[in-house]
Structures are given as C-alpha cells and as structure tokens.
Amino acid sequence: MDICVVALGKIGLPLAVQYASMGHRVRGADINRELVDCINRGEEPFPGEADLAERLSTVVRDGSLTAGTDTTAAVADSDIVVVVVPLVVDSNAEPDYTAMDAATESIGKGIKPGTLVIYETTLPVGTTRERFTPRLAELSGTTPGEDLMVCFSPERVYSGRIFADLSKYPKIVGGIDDRSAAAAIAFYESVLSFDDRDDLDRPNGVWDVGTAEAAELVKLAETTYRDVNIGLANEFARYARSNGIDIHSVIEAANSQPFSHLHQPGISVGGHCIPVYPRLYLSNDPGALLPAASRTTNERMPAWFADMLRAAMGGSLEGRRVLVAGLAYRGGVKEPAFSGTYPLVAALEALGASVGVHDPLFTDAELAAEGFEPAQPGPGWEAVVLHTDHAEYLEWSPADLPDASVVVDGRSFLDPQAWTAAGRSYLSIRP
C-alpha cells in the first residue's frame, strides 16, 4: 500500500514508522523543513519516544519511509492518507482550524479517485463529515460515497509509549459511509497488531463504531471523563487539605471499592488531551455543566499552588526569587503543550515573584523562546515549586538549593523527609 501521513509530530512520526515497518511505502508530509530533513537523515527529531530512534533509522535506511514538505505531491502518490495535524483552541477556547484547514486544502488538491482519507486528529463531533469531506470533494472533483472515502479514527496513544499503545488499545473507526469504514478497517488491520485483552467485551482489534460522529465522540468522551474525574479529585483535595485530611490516603482507600476510579489531584493537567479536548466537546455541547466546571477547577490549580507558596512565605512573594522545576506537562517527555507551567509562572509573577524555570529536557534557548527566564538549581532561589515529575528532580537535594526555605511539590513527587530533615518547609496537596 502507498500511505501518506500528514504531520510528522510526536504522533504522526511514530505512526509513519509503524506503517513503514509493516512493509508499506510511506510518504510523510510536514510543513516544517528542518523536521523533514532530520527525518530523512534517519535521526529522531525529539527525545522520549520509546524505540523510535532505532525503528526510524531502519525504515529510512531501507527506503520505506521518506519525508517531504509537499503534502499535495505526497497525497497524489498515495492510496491512503492519515492526517494528524493538531487542532487546538484559541484564546476564547474555540477550536482553531487554521492548521487543519490548511492541511485539508493541500490534501484535497492531491486526491485521486478511490483515495481513503482518515482524520486521526481529535475533532469536534461532525467536523469530518461536515467541514472536511465537502472541501476534499470540491478540491479533488471526487464524490463522497462514490470515489472518495473518508473516516475518523481517534488517536488514543500516549506520547512516550506510542508503539506499545498501538497494540494495546482497540483502533476505533467510524466512516462517513460503510465503504469508507470497511476500507479503514482493512487498512488498520494491515498496519497494526493487537495484544490479547481479556478485560475487553470484544476481541481487541479494529472496532467500527458505526459513524464518523460516534468515533469523534469516543475521544472527546474519554478525555472529558478524565478531566471531570481530575477536577473532582482536585475539589476533594482542596477541601481535604483545608481540613487536615490526607487526600492520597483517601483516594487510595476510595479506589479499593470497585466503582471508584479517582485520579490523582495535582498542580496541572497539560498536553492536548485534558486542557483542549473538553473544550472541543463544549464547542458541540455548550450547555454541558460538568465539563465546563471541571475545566474551571483544573485551570485554577496552578494559581492555588502559587497562593500556597505565598502563604508559606509570610503572605507576600514581592521580590522573592522562585524556581519553577519543569516545563513539560508530564515527566520524561519534552512536551510543553498547554503545560501548567505557563499559568503557574504567570500566577507567581502576578504575586510579585521573580521566577526562573528549569527543565532538564529543554535548552536555555528553548525556555527563553517560551518566554521564561532559564534557570538552574543553586544558591539564590528562595523557594522551589515542582511542576513536572521528571525523574531528575528526585536527585535534587537541599544542598542543591541552599537558600530555598520552601519547597512546594505540585505533584506529591519528592521525598518530603529529604527536605524537612534539612529544616526546609515542604508543602504539597497533603496537609
């Protein structure tokens, strides 16, 4: 099969590598020339994705994966097009289709009769059928239901462990019609293999959920569920802390009952999944109460931790030097998307603090490009707020931060003893 993957980011590149390693000819298309050149050299463009470096160099070396910046040409040479260009929300929390529309334009111009286009980017319900399919048809002169097949298939993997997740989770598909769905099922069955999962009601594999809309809603439902769950855990945590109750033991105990699955509370939930996708759901269903409330609750957490620090430092952060540990939204991945570090730094600065940001996965130039003062541990920092659970931070000791009288652990990640034994004040969501 000739396959085109449009967007070679954290998700698209591993997908392209997966398809190529299953014996197909894959053309990757991305607007980022530097990224494309790096891929064509067989070099991993970002760290942290298990097995990517080795698998990428193999498929580039054997010629099964090539990358380019001309999406239309790559599509013209392909039977199947998989699209994973991100869709984000703008400052009004509304979907911003700029990148997706641009990609759809380039794809539409390259489509020939009989092409199957699969959108994997998380989308509001109805987008595949109502927004993209008519445009693809118009630009290519093809007709949906006749010689243009279009599907939605949510990408449910976790960056850092994509290849493992591709086998672990059922691949959900929904077509604009039955023919499209059948073609997508045949495609995914030829490029993926699935682990046996006794815990599922159906055999693990490609699951057709009936329509593109149902497939779109699957991803919005699972991510919004998590956001609501975390929002509830954060509400409980704030209440528990102000009443001297240890939220972690409460959650551990509550979750021993089979119907409770409370997530861990904490400083932030970043990435695309949690901050963005509930907003996409809300764009479909603006009257929904729980998703909106959870977003509010979860977005308040960085400021809540900043305020915890303010209280611990005598009621004011005016002129105090505060080190924020971690930009990545999750430990071990170089992924700043929608990280809680942005609102955390803004909240600390609004309280008058002078803030530096450290992250072992980002260079000083990269931190500066995000608008932060790049920083290293050392003397002079009067307090530390841990935002990201990077393993490196477990190595930090009071000697590395000789002047930090307060450590706020936004993830309940550090060993409190290590800090309190040295006379430092250690604060977390636990009382």
Ligand X SMILES: NC(=O)c1ccc[n+]([C@@H]2O[C@H](COP(=O)([O-])OP(=O)(O)OC[C@H]3O[C@@H](n4cnc5c(N)ncnc54)[C@H](O)[C@@H]3O)[C@@H](O)[C@H]2O)c1
Cβ–Cβ under 8 Å, residues 150 and 215: no
Residue 214 CB, nearest distance to ligand X (Å)? 17
* 273 in active site: yes
Q: How far apart are the C-alpha atoms of 182 and 173, rounded to whole Å? A: 9
Q: How far apart are the C-alpha atoms of 199 and 48, rounded to whole Å? A: 29
| Cβ-proximal residues to 204 (8 Å cutoff; 6+ apart), any chain | 168, 169, 170, 194, 195, 196, 197
Rg over alpha carbons for the chain, rounded to the nearest Å, is: 23
**Cβ nearer to ligand X, comparing 31 with 262:** 31
Residue 295 CB, nearest distance to ligand X (Å)? 18
Q: How far apart are the C-alpha atoms of 21 and 156, rounded to whole Å? A: 20
Main-chain phi, psi angles of 277, to 5 degrees: -70, -35
Main-chain phi, psi angles of 150, to 5 degrees: -135, 135
| Cβ-proximal residues to 129 (8 Å cutoff; 6+ apart), any chain | 150, 176, 212, 213
Residue 32 CB, nearest distance to ligand X (Å)? 4
Q: How far apart are the C-alpha atoms of 188 and 174, rounded to whole Å? A: 12
**Cβ nearer to ligand X, comparing 340 with 377:** 340
Burial class (CB in 10 A: 0-12, 13-18, 19+), 167: middle
Residue 29 CB, nearest distance to ligand X (Å)? 6
Active-site position among 4, 38, 151, 273: 273
Active-site position among 38, 151, 171, 219: 219
Residue 155 CB, nearest distance to ligand X (Å)? 4
Cβ–Cβ under 8 Å, residues 421 and 407: no
Q: How far apart are the C-alpha atoms of 99 and 300, rounded to whole Å? A: 29
* 151 in active site: no
Residue 3 DSSP SS3? strand
Residue 306 CB, nearest distance to ligand X (Å)? 26
Residue 248 CB, nearest distance to ligand X (Å)? 26
The partner residues of 171 in beta bridges, in order of sequence, read 206
Residue 300 CB, nearest distance to ligand X (Å)? 24
Binding site for ligand X (CB under 6 A): 6-12, 29-32, 35, 71, 84-87, 99, 102-103, 121-122, 155, 157-159, 271-273
**Cβ nearer to ligand X, comparing 42 with 416:** 42
**Cβ nearer to ligand X, comparing 10 with 24:** 10
Q: How far is CA 320 from the centre of its chain?
A: 33
- HEC string for 4-72: EEECCCCCHHHHHHHHHHCCCEEEEECCCHHHHHHHHCCCCCCCCCCCHHHHHHHHHHCCCEEEECCHH
**Cβ nearer to ligand X, comparing 266 with 356:** 266
Residue 264 is classified by DSSP as: P
Residue 389 token pair: 């659970």
**Cβ nearer to ligand X, comparing 46 with 236:** 46
**Cβ nearer to ligand X, comparing 71 with 428:** 71
Q: How far apart are the C-alpha atoms of 153 and 166, rounded to whole Å? A: 13
Residue 234 token pair: 């954060």
**Cβ nearer to ligand X, comparing 121 with 204:** 121
With CB atoms as reference, the residue minimizing the distance to ligand X is: 9
Which residues are catalytic, by number?
219, 273
